[in-house]
Amino acid sequence: MKLSLLLSQLGLSAHPEADPEVSAVTHNSSWVKPGAVFVAVRGLKTDGHKFIPQALEKGAVAIVGEGFEGDLPVPYIKVEHARHALADFACVLQGHPSRALTVVGITGTDGKSTTSWITYHLLQSAGKPSGLLSTVGYRTPDGVLHHFPQHLTTPDSPEIQSLLRELLDAGATHCVLETSSHALELDRVRGVEYGVGIFTNLTPEHLDFHGDMEGYFQAKRKLIDRSRFAVLNQDDPYARRLTDHPSHTTFGFSAEAQWRATNLQEEASGLNFTVVSPAGTFDVVLPMIGQFNVLNALAAMATAHHLGLSIPELQKGLASFQGIPGRMQLLSSHPRVMVDFAHTPPSLEKALEVLRPSTTGKLWVVVGSAGGNRDPLKRAPLGEVASRLSDQAIFTEEDCRDTPIQEILQEMERGASSTGNQNYRSIADRRTAIQEAIHQAGPEDTVLLAGKGPEDTLERASETLPWDEVAEALQALGTRKPS
Ligand SMILES: CC(=O)N[C@H]1[C@@H](OP(=O)(O)OP(=O)(O)OC[C@H]2O[C@@H](n3ccc(=O)[nH]c3=O)[C@H](O)[C@@H]2O)O[C@H](CO)[C@@H](O)[C@@H]1O[C@H](C)C(=O)N[C@@H](C)C(=O)N[C@H](CCC(=O)O)C(=O)O
Ligand SMILES: Nc1ncnc2c1ncn2[C@@H]1O[C@H](COP(=O)(O)OP(=O)(O)OP(=O)(O)O)[C@@H](O)[C@H]1O
């Protein structure tokens, strides 16, 4: 697109001296490719204007900024708000893809990824070709999971707009977009037109960035304010403040919620409950662990119903949900084997606490701690949590890198010994440790394989081995003696 056309679509005046062809826009000088417009953003750590020379060296054909003194060999466009300009340029370059998609935005402190994945699955399984952008990666309508080069929940506006374009071109009619408070505050989603906005909950997090809870709430509420339809958690006091939205529904356990769950039963194979809703009263099965997932499922169902799914489609979709790769992923029921990426003491604690109530037999955990310079102080606390909250803990390798594995295992055992329990041992080889746990577990036991989750490598000394935790677990289940 010619720069003059781009500028005219944005209501900015053209530059008579040159009219280059523009192929992309970016705020990061190191990502500039020939033909790109570089937008200099005054950031929290540094000022993008300092990197204009680097952007020019890399082939930028125009510069956008809030104030630059000096001569430039390419057109310079002065704007009041560089982050707005970044998003606006990206929307125009990609042809405003969100206008042709039904976009579902999901925000909240917890449950964004899970709710996003369930919503995507419900839409897909009802035949609505959909895309998904979440912390875990993005999925195209063919179901393939791709990973972002950056590890952000919601990437920057040029990446969002080009992904929405990619999804539209791949035939998507709907897109589920996990929308972080950082993205809302930093205008990464400016120009995205949301059909539905879901608010899961709000508890203290990221207060260094947002200042206080009110600032955090005000950032999150932007999603709801700009969505045509809102899906709000009736059980959450912050979400309840948004019920003045002119077109909304609510979900929760409380009696006032329009979409509510009753008769909840948590079994080894998952959650069974009855949904009472404006669409009707019906039973559902969700193959997930953790009662908070009932709320995530209710939000996803309320959204999918608003977008036209019938009760049988909701029931069928929920029952066939396979979880998020490596996040409390349920692989079998007897014994119940779960793969989860929990690799810090608090996340391991939470995972074991979630599994305990629905474990009728023993609770096993296989867990390691990374080597190299990766947080050596967490090794003993991980051992302590594993021993305190499980019945049988097996300590093993987890990317030990150049640290001798025995050193890591001794630290984990030292932490475990502080509980006074005798319920732990170490098996250095991860494959053997997984086999041992799965082979020894009784049919009513739960085995949590923690720490690796969806990672695809295992780093051992100077070697990087290919690794697939789910495949390892399935292999061990396949060689288990029938019980
Ligand atoms: C705190 C935060 O969100 N920071 C974001 C912010 O960065 P910033 O303003 O500090 O940027 P800066 O480092 O000061 O640099 C200023 C400008 O100079 C540019 N620059 C800098 C260096 C250089 O060599 N060349 C260059 O062009 C930068 O690209 C930037 O445009 O603006 C950047 C551009 O939009 C973002 O990429 C960056 O996200 C950083 C990478 C980040 O880690 N963010 C995390 C905290 C985040 O956003 N997390 C949320 C949610 C997490 C959750 O819910 O758990 C997420 O959506 O992932
Ligand atoms: N609705 C919920 N309410 C409270 N806690 C939840 C809820 N859903 C999930 N959790 C907890 O939060 C953890 C993270 O869930 P999820 O990945 O869905 O959240 P998230 O907001 O997307 O976070 P992230 O962006 O890090 O993925 C889960 O492992 C679970 O322990």
> How far, in Å, from the CA of 73 to the mean position of ligand 1?
28
* pLDDT bracket for residue 37 (50, 70, 90): very high
Stretch 229-243: mean pLDDT:
97
CA distance 293 to 275: 13
The per-residue pLDDT for range 267-303, each reduced to its tens digit, is 888 999 999 999 999 999 999 998 999 999 999 999 9
Binding positions are 29, 108-114, 153-154, 180, 188
Q: Is residue 169 pLDDT above 90, yes or no?
A: yes
Maximum CA pair distance of the chain? 80
CA distance 42 to 34: 23
**Angle of helix 311-319 relative to helix 112-125, nearest 10 degrees?**
120
Q: Which domains does the chain have, with CATH numbers?
A: 3-94 (3.40.1390.10), 97-319 (3.40.1190.10), 329-478 (3.90.190.20)
CA distance 160 to 232: 24
> How far, in Å, from the CA of 324 to the mean position of ligand 2?
11
Least distant ligand from the CA of 176 = 2
Answer yes or no: is the C-beta of 111 below 6 A from any ligand 2 atom.
yes
Hey, is 429 helix, strand or coil? coil
Stretch 464-477: mean pLDDT:
96
473, 436 Cβ separation under 8 angstroms:
no
Contacts (Cβ under 8 Å, ≥6 apart) of 5: none
CA distance 97 to 126: 23
Closest ligand 1 atom to residue 27 Cα is 31
Closest ligand 2 atom to residue 351 Cα is 31
Contacts (Cβ under 8 Å, ≥6 apart) of 325: 136, 145, 453, 454, 470
**pLDDT at site 268:** 84
Among 33, 37, 46, 190, say which to mutate for ligand 1: greatest number of ligand atoms within 8 Å of CB. Answer: 46
CA distance 3 to 370: 50
Binding positions for ATP are 108-114
Contacts (Cβ under 8 Å, ≥6 apart) of 164: 94, 97, 98, 101, 103, 131, 175, 192
Stretch 364-376: mean pLDDT:
89
113, 134 Cβ separation under 8 angstroms:
yes
Tokens 């104030």: give the residue.
67
CA distance 327 to 113: 10
Among 29, 31, 41, say which to mutate for ligand 1: greatest number of ligand atoms within 8 Å of CB. Answer: 41
The per-residue pLDDT for range 104-118, each reduced to its tens digit, is 999 999 999 999 999
ipTM attached to this prediction? 0.95
Single pTM value for the model: 0.91
Joined together, the tokens standing for residue 66 give: 């809030």
Give residue 142's identity as a one-letter amino acid code.
Answer: D
Stretch 200-228: mean pLDDT:
93
Exposed / middle / buried, residue 480 (Cβ in 10 Å: 0-12, 13-18, 19+)? middle
93, 21 Cβ separation under 8 angstroms:
no
Give residue 447's identity as a one-letter amino acid code.
Answer: V
Q: Measuring CA to CA, which residue among 84, 69, 80, 85 is closest to residue 37?
A: 85
